[in-house]
Structure 1
Amino acid sequence: MTRWQTIYHPKIPAKIDIPEKDLASLFFDSVEKDGKLPFLFFQGKMTTYEESGKIVKKLANSLKDLGVKKGDRVAILMANCPQFVFSYLSTLYLGGVITAISPLASAKELVFQLKDSGSKVLITLDLFLDRIRPIRRNTKLKHVIVSSVADGLSPLKGFLYKNLIARKNPKPGKDELIYKELVKNGAEKDINAKIKPKEDLVALQYTGGTTGTPKGAMLTHYNLVSQAIVLDNWMEWIGGKIPGVQDNSIASLPLSHIFGLTTAFIWPMSVSGSISLVPDPRQLEVIMKTVEKNKIHFFMAVPTLYQKIAEHPKVSDYDWSSLRCGISGGSTLHTSVMDNFERKTGALLVEGYGLSEASPVTHVNPVDVKLRSIGIGLPIQNTQAKIIDINTGEDIPEEFDDDGLTKEGELLVKGPQVMKGYWKNPEETANVFTSDGWLKTGDVVRMNEQGFFTIVDRLKDCIFTSGYQVWPLEVESALIDHPDISIAAVIPFKDESLNEVIKAVLIAAEGAPEHDHATLKAYCKTVLAPYKVPKEFEYRKEIPLSPVGKVLRRPLREEAATKVKASSK
């Protein structure tokens, strides 16, 4: 038994048997058992499992009539809405492979993902047609299927939306198919795609490209089924399922992102839970109203969203008593954010960790206020984890310093949630796996004596300055602890002598002043070693963020490098 397994709740076994089922079967199990229960809530409209099952079959048969067959790639470009969910499930039922595209993707990213995946069909909203039409000829798309937000609304709201809000939206052309008609005219027949869960793909989940060219992680049915079962069992920390009460989740994370897909869609669906879909996570009052109205139990989000909610002037006006827990991921959850959210809402918030290549979850903290720790928590059931030396590649022994921590090193994981590899990219696949099958995460971590892991930083983001090794995350954490700083991004920067120094790009907290360099340096010297103190500080109104709100350092590094090149000419 590992160190972390000794911490597990008595009802959480170290290993769980994962059935070899496909995801569509999980969905139709819920349809059969709990057909009358709500499945989706969207803008005031509720759709039951039974109603959803009929839509999924009809759309799947229409896709089949269009020539989509097992193994074909189908792209989805949509915000969170019922049509995204139905398109996803219909494709899986047919044996197809989904590649979900972020609504924030640039034209270049759209073309790359559609071409690299070899997508045959794109299902999208009319909102995005002006972005799709100019690039369609550069792809292998045979069909573009167009829906409207109105298709997910009640008849009255749909009418008002089309006639008041969406009047200027592009209309489907002759070479584009209408989603609503495919659902209406599709046969409600069973399809047996003869899926092999451990072999057949659910998705090509493209990495965010935060470290370079995006790569399509090949995720199988077994990968995602294992996540759903393990995550559900993890909730035994808070008593598991409440008898006679449906689990209610909110999907404010984009379902095109693996964190939102697995935790806010696949897991709730697998246990006949309800999902409240939020198309725009910037609408904080919509989220808070939804939590109160739909009595949300589980809220998965990124730290920036929890922070914004906690700082919202109306947060205390809403009833948060139904919320059993929030799980944060995507980037580091700072103590100040966790404390503020819990104080304002009364809900428990814990941090977890994952990556696209692992479907994504590998670590979560105990959902227990007495046992949770600062950091990413414990490896979940069925998951192996180890730390290797970043220079030698050798396993780091479980020896602990005076602070009760191991030496820092790269985190490696193994488990049923780990991808098959990268799509059409054997070289990168070989680079990310060891010869004995461990996935190299690229994250530097430490472990304590109880088996809790803490992220030090991304391996590639280490800054070498004055002969020292500095991890940006440590400096960012120190800066964010200052009450007048909301967001910090720390990057390397070449000074006038072309030596690598540390630069901090900051966003001031709401209503807080922008401090001068001397004040910021004086503060940093009280919380950081001298060589870790940034030499340069810059305030901005915005910092690049990923679709789920993670600070992106790479664009800032590239911008800094461009400035250095320009000044040296």
Structure 2
Amino acid sequence: MARSTYPDLTVPDTSIYDYLFGGLTDAELDRVALIDGTSGAETTYRQLVGQIGLLAGALAARGVGVGDVVALLCPNVPAFATVFHGILRSGATATTINSLYTPDEIANQLTDAGATWFFTVSPLLPGAKAAAARLGIADDHLVVLDGAEGHPSLRDLLGEGHPAPEVSFDPATHLAVLPYSSGTTGRPKGVMLTHANLVANIEQARGSIGLVPDDRVLAVLPFFHIYGMTALLNYALKLRAALVTMPRFDLVEFLRIISEHRATWVFIAPPIAVALAKHPLVDQHDLSSVRVVFSGAAPLDGALAELVASRIGCTVAQGYGMTETSPVTHVIPTDRDDLDRSSIGFLVPNTEARLVDVETGVDVEPPADGGTSEPGELWIRGPQVMQGYLGNAAATAEMLDDEGWLHTGDIATVTADGVYRIVDRLKELIKYKGYQVAPAVLEAVLLGHPSIADAAVIGVLDADGQEVPKAFVVVQPGADLDADTVIAHVTAHVAPHEKVRVVEFIELIPKSSAGKILRKDLRAREQAASA
């Protein structure tokens, strides 16, 4: 077992709202908190805090508070911060929904989370309304931020002028958010994160992620994802920096916003790093303001990181974490250019880790001096670790043991200096452009096609070295099926990031005696084919 090389911190025993906004000075209140990257409209901390209080008051006036779950389906716009923190300020729990989800996927999350109120925006209203109708969420409980006939708007709620309620709860046990994750395997599950989890993780990151109040942080990675929620939205607000929001990634717009708004920090996922390193459009924009490019959500290749750093003239770093750890557990400090960019850096404060041999269950010891340890599954324990999966004791027990160790499913090594590197993955989860894709979900969709007898899905690398979903398909006897038809079938039933990108037809899906798909055999087949 290893502890963080940083000294332990005292984590404030408070709500996330009070932690972020309770200590604002008059000077800080007049600082810019949010900039709409598209329009340039600015929101100060004073305006943001006022809006949060008014929204919390409007919810409280409708009987929403501790024990209620409110859903939020919204891209990265300034109003996201108002609604998200307004929900938490009211004492309710926020469940944030992927903006790319289909109505079926939205309905599944609403049902599982037990949401009774739902906030969205007009471009996403058709899917939201279809999902809400299945659950019996009435139109007056479906708030459309920018307005739609028959639905309350954000302006309506804020205009009522209700004061924020007095709420009381234990930050250590009260759920702040319910983001959804597939964990190491299976279908998405509600990750129970308390106010204390979120507060702890921001405190833990402060010594490594070197934001300062004068920074402008480009927020293109989605706030609904734990990475965007903690490392961008909450972290930047705590540091009194300015967030420049971007609703979706478009390379031209991404480069324009960085240049025009003089962004100093750019949080990305590895596919964006590929564009920054290789795309000719980059040379047509002034990116000289960028001090740091920080990557997360999926592993960043060290050579790719160096290409980005040399092309833009900035520091490139990465971190590691999971939805189940709020998410940050490891960070390459932005002042440590000597560290290998492909590593995930050091454990953050108040965090313990173990590397466990997957065959023997024995702890892998770090080297006494120099060199690198043998690989082992990374286990994590700390105040950022989730309470468990909502309503799923079996899945919780598989992920989180009785001693509080979270079994990540990732295989790592560690140096004598405490620098970790992810070298492989036990889990079946596919990370496509930083988004989680659960093979089980795609396999269920594939098996719904009448011409498919059996199917399995694994992650494979594309030409840019990024992981994409590949389907192995067994065709029903006598059926006529091609790859395009298979891809189109899946596309019709899942979010865009979950689409199958490659199809291979085979005679038999390898399975264990218990009927479990032997993905390692499929990966071995893939490796042999590419050798």
Superposition TM-score tier, normalisation by shorter sequence: 0.7 to 0.9
Secondary structure at 1:70's aligned position in 2? coil
Secondary structure at 1:296's aligned position in 2? coil
The superposition leaves residues 300-352 of structure 1 with CA deviations (integer Å, 9 ceiling, x where unpaired) of 11010121133232323333333232221111211332122112210111121
State the shift of 1:178 in Å.
2.1
Is the alpha carbon distance of 1:57 and 1:286 closer, same or farther for their aligned partners in structure 2, counting shifts above 3 Å?
same
Secondary structure at 2:254's aligned position in 1? helix
Structure 1 CA distance, aligned partners of 2:149 and 2:508?
A: 46
Counterpart amino acid of residue 343 in structure 2: G
State the shift of 1:146 in Å.
0.7
Structure 2 CA distance, aligned partners of 1:234 and 1:299?
A: 15
Q: Superposition pairs for residues 139-288 of structure 1, below 5 Å?
A: 139=135, 141-142=137-138, 143-148=141-146, 171-173=148-150, 176-187=151-162, 189-208=163-182, 211-235=185-209, 241=212, 246-281=214-249, 283-288=250-255
State the shift of 1:40 in Å.
0.6
The superposition leaves residues 107-154 of structure 1 with CA deviations (integer Å, 9 ceiling, x where unpaired) of 221111000000010000111221122232322535100122xx8xxx
Structure 2 CA distance, aligned partners of 1:391 and 1:556?
A: 33
State the shift of 1:288 in Å.
2.2
Secondary structure at 2:398's aligned position in 1? helix
Secondary structure at 1:250's aligned position in 2? strand
**Farther off after superposition, 86-95 or 295-304:** 295-304
Structure 2 CA distance, aligned partners of 1:385 and 1:87?
A: 35
Counterpart amino acid of residue 376 in structure 1: I
Structure 1 CA distance, aligned partners of 2:266 and 2:134?
A: 39
1:395 aligns with 2:395: no
Tell me which residue corresponds to 2:32. 38
State the shift of 1:488 in Å.
5.3
Counterpart amino acid of residue 39 in structure 1: A
Tell me which residue corresponds to 2:55. 59
Is the alpha carbon distance of 1:53 and 1:213 closer, same or farther for their aligned partners in structure 2, counting shifts above 3 Å?
same
Secondary structure at 1:398's aligned position in 2? coil
**Contact 2:2 2:352 survives alignment (8 Å):** no
1:435 aligns with 2:435: no
Correspondent of 1:29 among 22, 41, 46: 22
The superposition leaves residues 397-447 of structure 1 with CA deviations (integer Å, 9 ceiling, x where unpaired) of 33589x922222211001111111111111111111122110011111122
Structure 2 CA distance, aligned partners of 1:182 and 1:31?
A: 25
Structure 2 CA distance, aligned partners of 1:222 and 1:376?
A: 24
Is the alpha carbon distance of 1:229 and 1:293 closer, same or farther for their aligned partners in structure 2, counting shifts above 3 Å?
farther
State the shift of 1:193 in Å.
1.2
Secondary structure at 2:205's aligned position in 1? helix
Tell me which residue corresponds to 1:158. none
State the shift of 1:205 in Å.
1.2
State the shift of 1:266 in Å.
0.5
The superposition leaves residues 31-79 of structure 1 with CA deviations (integer Å, 9 ceiling, x where unpaired) of 4441110011002100101111111111111111122111210000011
1:111 aligns with 2:86: no
State the shift of 1:98 in Å.
0.4
Tell me which residue corresponds to 2:452. none
1:15 aligns with 2:8: yes
CA RMSD of aligned residues (A): 3.3
Q: Superposition pairs for residues 303-322 of structure 1, below 5 Å?
A: 303-322=270-289
Tell me which residue corresponds to 1:365. 332
Tell me which residue corresponds to 1:80. 76
State the shift of 1:294 in Å.
2.8
Counterpart amino acid of residue 145 in structure 1: V
Q: How many residues align?
A: 463
Structure 2 CA distance, aligned partners of 1:341 and 1:177?
A: 45
Is the alpha carbon distance of 1:383 and 1:58 closer, same or farther for their aligned partners in structure 2, counting shifts above 3 Å?
same
Identify the structure with bigger relative contact order (alpha carbons < 8 Å, sequence gap 6+). Answer: 2
**Contact 1:320 1:347 survives alignment (8 Å):** no
Tell me which residue corresponds to 1:515. none
State the shift of 1:24 in Å.
1.0
Structure 2 CA distance, aligned partners of 1:420 and 1:111?
A: 24
Structure 2 CA distance, aligned partners of 1:216 and 1:118?
A: 11
Is the alpha carbon distance of 1:290 and 1:390 closer, same or farther for their aligned partners in structure 2, counting shifts above 3 Å?
same
The superposition leaves residues 267-321 of structure 1 with CA deviations (integer Å, 9 ceiling, x where unpaired) of 011122111100011x223222322333323221101012113323232333333
Gaps of 5+ in 2: 430-457, 476-482, 484-489, 510-531
Tell me which residue corresponds to 1:333. 300
The superposition leaves residues 434-470 of structure 1 with CA deviations (integer Å, 9 ceiling, x where unpaired) of 22110011111122232211112220349xxxxxxxx
**Contact 1:98 1:204 survives alignment (8 Å):** yes
Secondary structure at 2:411's aligned position in 1? strand
Structure 2 CA distance, aligned partners of 1:328 and 1:424?
A: 32
**Contact 1:3 1:450 survives alignment (8 Å):** no
1:123 aligns with 2:119: yes
Structure 2 CA distance, aligned partners of 1:295 and 1:232?
A: 23
**Contact 2:185 2:428 survives alignment (8 Å):** no
**Farther off after superposition, 123-132 or 110-119:** 123-132
**Contact 2:122 2:145 survives alignment (8 Å):** yes
The superposition leaves residues 338-394 of structure 1 with CA deviations (integer Å, 9 ceiling, x where unpaired) of 122112210111121110000011111132212344222211111111111212322
TM-score (norm 1): 0.74
Is the alpha carbon distance of 1:210 and 1:183 closer, same or farther for their aligned partners in structure 2, counting shifts above 3 Å?
farther
State the shift of 1:218 in Å.
0.5
Structure 1 CA distance, aligned partners of 2:110 and 2:473?
A: 37
Structure 1 CA distance, aligned partners of 2:331 and 2:392?
A: 30
Is the alpha carbon distance of 1:457 and 1:172 closer, same or farther for their aligned partners in structure 2, counting shifts above 3 Å?
farther
Structure 1 CA distance, aligned partners of 2:136 and 2:206?
A: 39
Structure 1 CA distance, aligned partners of 2:340 and 2:142?
A: 47
**Contact 2:259 2:285 survives alignment (8 Å):** yes
State the shift of 1:209 in Å.
7.2
Correspondent of 2:320 among 353, 362, 369: 353
**Contact 1:99 1:204 survives alignment (8 Å):** yes
Correspondent of 2:353 among 385, 393, 401: 385
Tell me which residue corresponds to 1:458. 425
Counterpart amino acid of residue 7 in structure 2: A
Structure 2 CA distance, aligned partners of 1:492 and 1:265?
A: 35
State the shift of 1:210 in Å.
7.9
